[in-house]
Chain A
């Protein structure tokens, strides 16, 4: 298995633009997590899905953030409109039930 695959690896966008981050979890894992990592706040859980259903999105910072998981093999995290303070590394992780397996992350820079 190739592990959790995220795309793009790097994204630079202008303030106000829509950004879509993509994630392919490991096949057979029933949980999927989106995290954001910054120096100031560390690793924050944004949202998690169980069997493709969003369970808790209380970590999503604002309505500008939305996440979907249309099927077991794909999830997106969308920011619209993006702002400079959204600059961070965004990680997707999947889990069978226990330890989480992380993707390489998407480094987002909003200028």
Chain B
């Protein structure tokens, strides 16, 4: 099965700094998604980027996708302590009318106030 792999595994920054997380995958995809998971909670969908898109923005989030390198990055600008969470990328291939997200191991982000 396809699986994104996030890098780094852990990231520690100060409030106000930017945080960049990367995701690499192995085979062709329909779309790639980023999720956030706060400790003890479910995953929250942040942003979806389709295979024919190169960049997407949502508030302080910026996602890029390079299908030639099979990689994506998530940039969080002007980070806040509340951004502390694990961030996952999920690759999705359409089949049977569904897009099935397959997750990597995640990046643990700590933002120090």
Contacts and interface: CB of A to CB of B under 8 A. Distances in A.
Q: How large is the interface on B (under 10, 10 to 19, 20 to 34, 35 or more residues)?
A: 20 to 34
The interface residues of chain B, by DSSP majority, are classed as strand
B45 A99 contact: yes
Nearest to B44: A102
A42 B98 contact: no
Nearest to B97: A50
B98 A99 contact: no
The interface residues of chain A, by DSSP majority, are classed as strand
Nearest to B94: A97
Contacts of A55: 95-96, 98
Interface residues of A, number: 25
A100 B97 contact: no
B29 to A, nearest CB: 13
A14 to B, nearest CB: 24
Contacts of A103: 42
Contacts of B104: 42
A88 to B, nearest CB: 14
Contacts of A99: 33, 45, 48, 101
Residue in A31, A45, A99 whose Cβ sees the most chain B Cβ within 10 Å: A99
Given A33-B100, A42-B103, A101-B45, 7 more contacts: A33-B101, A43-B88, A43-B103, A45-B100, A45-B101, A93-B42, A97-B97
Which 5 A/B pairs are nearest by Cβ-Cβ distance? A102-B42, A99-B45, A43-B103, A31-B98, A102-B43
Interface of A: 4, 30-31, 33, 35, 42-43, 45, 48, 50-51, 55-56, 91, 93, 95, 97-105
22 contacts: A31-B98, A42-B105, A42-B106, A43-B88, A48-B98, A50-B98, A51-B97, A55-B96, A56-B100, A93-B43, A95-B98, A95-B99, A97-B99, A98-B31, A98-B99, A99-B48, A100-B33, A100-B43, A100-B90, A102-B45, A103-B42, A104-B41
